[in-house]
Structure formats: C-alpha cells, structure tokens
Structure 1
Amino acid sequence: MPIKIPDTLPAFETLVNEGVRVMTETAAVRQDIRPLQIGLLNLMPNKIKTEIQIARLIGATPLQVELTLVRIGGYRPKNTPEEHLFAFYETWEEVKGRKFDGFIITGAPVETLDYDEVTYWDELKRIFDWTETHVHSTLNVCWGAMAGIYHFHGVPKYPLKEKAFGVYRHQNLKPSSVYLNGFSDDFAVPVSRWTEVRRADIDRVPSLEVLMESKEMGVCLVHEKKGNRLYMFNHVEYDSTSLSDEYFRDVDAGVPIKLPHDYFPHNDSTLPPQNRWRSHAHLFFGNWINEMYQTTPYELEKIGSGD
C-alpha cells in the first residue's frame, strides 16, 4: 500500500517522480483497513528535505501508512517557510492526545550544546515521557537518539576532536534481530556528527542491546525491548548527495572540514557520489514497520495500556 500524505506537500511530487506510491485522502478512505499511524517529530532546520527522506523509506512498505508531521511548539526554524509549517505540521501539544503506532524523532544541529542549553529541551523531555504511554514503537535518529538514550538512561555524549563524517563500514552484531532481517554481515552507513556515545556506557544498562557497530565510528544502532525503542546514531535515511551538500556548505562558509571518508569516487569531490547504503536503509525501515505491524494493537486506544 502507498504512504498517505497531503497532496500539496512538496514530498508528494518528489516521491511520485521517484516511483514511490503515494495515496490521496480520497483513495485512502475507500480501503477498509486501519493504516499504521506514524508521527515524525522533525527537528531538522530544512524540514522539507527531511520529510522527503523519511517519507521515501516509509512509502516503500507494502502496508498503508499515514504520516503525521509534528514540530516543537515554541521553536521556529530558520530554513523552512512558516507557511509550510502552518500548512502541514501540528505541534506536539496538538497531537499529544493521540496514539501512534510509530514515532520518529530526528536529529538536530545542536549536538555540541549541553542538553539543558537546547531551547526546547524541557518540551522534548515531556515528549520522550509521552512516547511511553502513547507510542507503540519509537525510532530516535542521530541527536534524537543521543538525547533519548540520555533522557531514559543517563548515557552521556562525548565531543569528538573532529567531525565524524563520511561513509563507514558497519557490522551486523545480531543477525537474529527482527530489525536486521536480510542485512549483510558488513554494510555501509553515512555518518555525520560532532559527538558520540560509547559502548562502555551502553553496556552498563542491561535493557540496551547493540545491534550495529563500526570499528571506526563506534555504536550505530541500539534496541531497547521496553517501549520498543530504537536508537539510530547515524544516517541511513540520507540522500545520495546529503554528505556532499554538507561538505560544500562548509567549504563555501569557510568552515574547516575534511573530505567525507570513502564517499566521493577516488576521493574526487568533482565526481558524483554513489549511494551504497540505500538498500539497507529500505531494509531497516521495512523491518521496523513490519515488526510494528505485527505487534501493535489493532485498536489504537490500547497502545500504552499493556494489552
């Protein structure tokens, strides 16, 4: 089944042109099934780009999914028009009475700040607590994963001497995990962050299980059975050009930045990069959605009730 998003959302036309099936409201109501309800708390400055990246992966599932775009109430990003926010987004305060099968919390360009210095930290803490009673499965990404694992377990983040930046080989540590079904033993994942969490801190928490790891970049994916929470510290959702966009942005701004590791062919930034992680990104999101579908209550109101 296709993903259901507003017809006028910029992602709609992009996904149609890519061959991703999308569904209008009119077509959706004709199907006598309950679509999976997935919320996307989008903390990224360029919200339109992130919407497309996530919707592309969710839209590849054979299940019908309804995507709700959510934003922090009192914060206004600089790189997304306000009319877009008001047209397509709801604040968390507006949706907090609802139940969701899945909820995605993205990264944000605030990772060098202490958590208490982030302007919306108090609201985000309330959202994390809310997911325990109103969401069947939560997927936290990059800074969202660091913030979540710190909020629930006190696992700290550490500043890096230089940016972890590029495409790195990762290992499948738990082939039997439902979230890694079909994964290779070794695969590429884009990395872009200034901080890290460390395996030693995670291993001190019995409820946390490391599923993916890189010898060079450390922990990538952690699963927590309680609350069906996933912490993805890197960027499987990235487009082919996401790392090059970041690289040339910093070069143009005069910010010191190294060439992204193992990204441009022959380390030549004039050559277009090749996407070597797309298939595993689709696998991961497909596995997450399938596990959600298999285990979520049919009646949304029962989510969080323990039934």
Structure 2
Amino acid sequence: MLNELSVVIPAYRSEALIARTLESILQEGVLAENIIVVEDGVFDNTKATLDKYNIKHIVQAKNMGAPKARNVGLAEVKTKYVMFIDSDDFVSDKLISGLIEVANSANADIAFGPWRFDGDKMKTGTLRYPPALTSSEWVLFWLNYGVIPTCSVLWRVDSIRSICGWDERLKKNQDGEIVIRAFLNDFNIGVSTQGYSTYWQHESQHRVSDAHIIDRDFTSNIVYELIMSKAANVKQRHYSYEIGRYCCKESWMCFSNSYIEGGASWKSRAQAHGYSKKGYSLATNIFGGLFGYKFGAKVKHFLFPYFKKLIYK
C-alpha cells in the first residue's frame, strides 16, 4: 500500500531538521525511492545530510519559493498519491498508511489526517482532528476556523495535476489557496483519524512561510475571487455571511500591519456581504467595541505575541 505514495519535500536552509523529517517518513514505510527532496537554492550543507539517504535530490540553482519546489517535485512523481511535507515537519503513528487507506476506500482526491503544533520555545500542542464536512462546508471552515497543515494532507496525483498544482505566484498561504481550489472543483474528500503529523513552528529568520502583509493580501484576494466566481451557493445568506467574516478577518490583518488601503477594501467587502460586526471572533469583537476597528486591530496585533503559545496548546 505504501508503495502507492510519494513524498515531496521542499528544502530551504534545512540541514538542521531535515534528517528528522526523512527518518519519520521512512519509519512510516514510504520507500526511499519515492521520496523527492527539492532544494530551493543552496544556502547551507543540506546535501551532506541527504547523501546519507537513497532518495531523489533535485537542486534549484536559486531560491524560487516553496510552490515552485513542490511543482518541480510533483513533476517527478510516478505513484498514485503524493504528500508535500516541509523539511521541518514530521509524521508519526501510521498517519500516512491511514490516509492512503481512507483515500482508497472513499475514492478520495484529497484526504486529511490529524496534526499537532510544536516547536521552538512552545509547548507541544494537543492533537487536532479534521472534521467530516462537505466541500462547501470545508471552504468556510478553511477560511474562518482553521487550516490543516500540508504534512497531514494527501493528494491523488492525477487530481492535483488536474488543477495545475501549486500557484507559483504565491509567497503566503499557498496551502490554503490550493485546497480551496480543490474544494471548488468538487474533489472527493476523505478524513482519517489515524496517526498524526507535527507542524513545527520556529523563529528562524529563514522560515519559508514568513511573508509580508502584501504577500498575504495578494493570496487572500485570489482566494476571494475564486470563491466569488466558482462557489455555487455564494449568494445564500449563511454562506455570504461567513465570507463576510473572512473579509473582516483580512481587514483586521491589514489594519494591524498598517496596510490601510487593504484594510478598508476588505472592510467594504465584509459589509457588502451583510457582515456588520466589528470583529471576526469573540476577542476581536471585544477589541473592536472597546477601541474601534482600526485601533482595535493594532491593539490585538501588539498583544498577540504574548498569547501565541497559549493559542497552540
């Protein structure tokens, strides 16, 4: 069963942690020949670690970003399924076999499994389990209530190729954009409760997922336009309201990072969807009520680092 799956690992300054990632994948039973590491520019001694393993190592001459690296790896995949696991994340307790089993039994195009947060200077988080939802419900869940890390997501190779893989323009939230694109294309969805992945958080200045607010806003606008153009029930009251909540959340993010033009644009969209609250959650509604929309966002942004560790418990 595990010979049906390949793992693509985008690597960027990864020498410190990639061995742990590889060992966890091999211990799950994935064949070494089906592990593809795409080094996104050579900036450290990652190669010395990779030379110890009989895996495929592709080197990009310069840093092109994680989506490009994942697509380069995807082009080399010859198996039925693929996972994209970042070089600092790892898997445990038969997560991968559970995902394959669910994908086969449900004829799924995409399957989700459990995960937890862990990382530098933070407590190990509790296990989180993906809910069983319809495609339209998944869109709203992903927008407003949480995401599932790529290390707990399995794709049918033909299916991810059918939506043209990862959007290489994106520097932020690429994993959110691609799964929403999958939901909007009515992919069959499977959910596994077996095993878990660990999504590693750290403070390195080289962390791949760090990006400026403009990069986040660029992706968020693409996601919004996708939903508005493809979601069949976008005009339904509840659905529109939840999209409005998403717009409110993006407005807060822009205002908190002093991107006033973007914040105003998202706030206008939220109101157009009938969302009139001053925040997108209990906390932001309180901050908005006490300090107003823009200043409330700034206050939350200032306080968030102090509560970040609690969020990921």
Do the two structures share a fold, i.e. TM-score over 0.5?
no
Larger strand fraction of residues: 1
Larger helix fraction of residues: 2
TM normalised by structure 2 equals: 0.30
Structure number with larger C-alpha Rg? 2
